[in-house]
Amino acid sequence: MADEFPAFLALGIGIIAVLLIAFNASFVQEGPRFTGNFFLGEFEDKEKKGAIFTGTNFTDQFIPFNFAFEADSLYETKTAEIGGREVSNGVLFGEKSVRYTLEKGDSVTAKFRIESTNAVSPLIFSLNGKEHAHDLREGIHEITIDEPFGDGSVLEIKTASSNWKIWAPSLYRLEGLSINVKAAKEGVDQYIFNIGDEWETMQSGRIDLYMKENIGTLKLDLNGKNIFNGISRDFQPIRFSSDEARKGQNILTFTATPNSKFRGEATMVLFYKHGEQKEVKAIINLTEDERRALKSGAINFKIVDVSRSGGVAARITHQGETTFSSFARAEEGFYRFDFEKDDVLPGISIVSIDAIDGASFLVKDLDVKLEKDWLVLRT
């Protein structure tokens, strides 16, 4: 009997070893191999053999826009033919003048011929009460008042009183009178576009103008903020920051300054970062009997190379429902998250390690351990 003891001892040690392997095994990073054993599914990123990136992975993206534009602010002249008029002013004769209501303009010119005059007093041109006096004789004349004025402004042509020369008024006989109003056209064009969630990670923008007509000075505003003001080249690149743009509707306004004209095509590109969430995933596949025999478990892993600070979350999900979650600050080191039997259900469950609160880091040596309930096994 004593001789048989070593053999029985060896057999017992072997049985214990088999039980330890079967009922308290660490899950390997392969699988799920088959139902009925506790194996951990392999990582989704098969090319990585060591640490796996976890967090938001940003890539450079862009949105293109193409459109045409035209802004014309060249001057236009509108002419009113008045014809022959008499302008006079004297103490005993009263005052006769020519009054004309103007549209909005940048300058006004009166063209006429003085048929006759006694030249007692100067001829006066008054724009909204501001007088401009001229001593003129017979002949053809052109008088320009070069200042901007609004709609409803009044141009009056009159003469000063003859004063003490009461026997005769100051007199001008005008022929062929015409009034010319010079005004710049409203040289504005707009392009309206929308920016969606890309605005959250927008870095900058660029507009390339390809001019077909290019005269004068161009002003370009984005949402009321000036991004260009000057003489444009036939190919004009313009850069702007995300501060000039906004989420939702954006308005790009082309303004041709007075005596300018622009027409062409534009290409606009918005540059932004596209974030894709990366996580480490693994699979647990339990039968009903295995789930009944389960006591507890632990999710173990290491965090290395924290590139952005934040948090880390360990989760177990089953058919889209979270059955276990726990959180911690993401720092380099070893992590262990313990869970109970009720945190795992029969069938396939997903174990995931997520970066939260903007964190990103590398995860290494993910390992899930399950502990059997020996009392259940003996029943």
Tokens of residue 156, six digits: 């009056």
Helix (H/G/I), strand (E/B), else coil: 345: coil
For residue 105, give the DSSP letter: B
Residue-level pLDDT at 46: 38
pLDDT at 160: 86
Q: How far apart are CA 163 and CA 89, in angstroms?
A: 9
Beta bridge partners of residue 194, listed in sequence order: 249
Q: Does domain 61-73+186-273 have CATH number 2.60.120.260?
A: yes
Residue showing tokens 């802004």: 71
Question: Is 80 exceeded by the pLDDT of residue 205?
Answer: yes
Q: What is the pLDDT of residues 261-303, one digit of tens each?
A: 999 999 999 999 887 788 888 888 988 988 888 889 999 999 9
% of the chain exceeding 90 in pLDDT: 55
Flag whether the pTM goes above 0.75. Answer: no
Q: For the domain 75-184, what is the CATH superfamily, name and number?
A: Galactose-binding domain-like (2.60.120.260)
Q: Is the pLDDT of residue 377 over 50?
A: no
| Structure tokens belonging to residue 122 | 């100067």
Of the chain, the percentage scoring pLDDT greater than 70 comes to 84
Measured between alpha carbons, how far is 64 from 266 in angstroms, rounded to an integer? Answer: 11
Q: What is the mean pLDDT of residues 63-73?
A: 93
Hey, is 129 helix, strand or coil? Answer: coil
In this predicted structure, which of 10-14, 17-21, 54-58, 231-235 has the lowest mean pLDDT?
17-21
Where does 271-310 have alpha helices with state H?
288-293
Mean pLDDT across 318-347: 92
- Tell me how many helices (H) and strands (E) the chain has: 3, 24
Rounded Cα–Cα distance for residues 175 and 4 (Å): 145
The average confidence (pLDDT) of the chain is 83
What tens digit of pLDDT does each residue of 126-139 get? 999 999 989 899 99
- Pairing state between β 347-356 and 333-340: unpaired
Q: Residue 33's pLDDT band (boundaries 50, 70, 90)?
A: very low
Confidence tier at 12 by pLDDT (50, 70, 90): low
For residue 378, the model assigns a pLDDT of 36
**What CATH number belongs to 22-59+276-378?**
2.60.120.260
Bridge partners (DSSP) of residue 211 are: 264
CATH 2.60.120.260 domain extents, the chain: 22-59+276-378, 61-73+186-273, 75-184
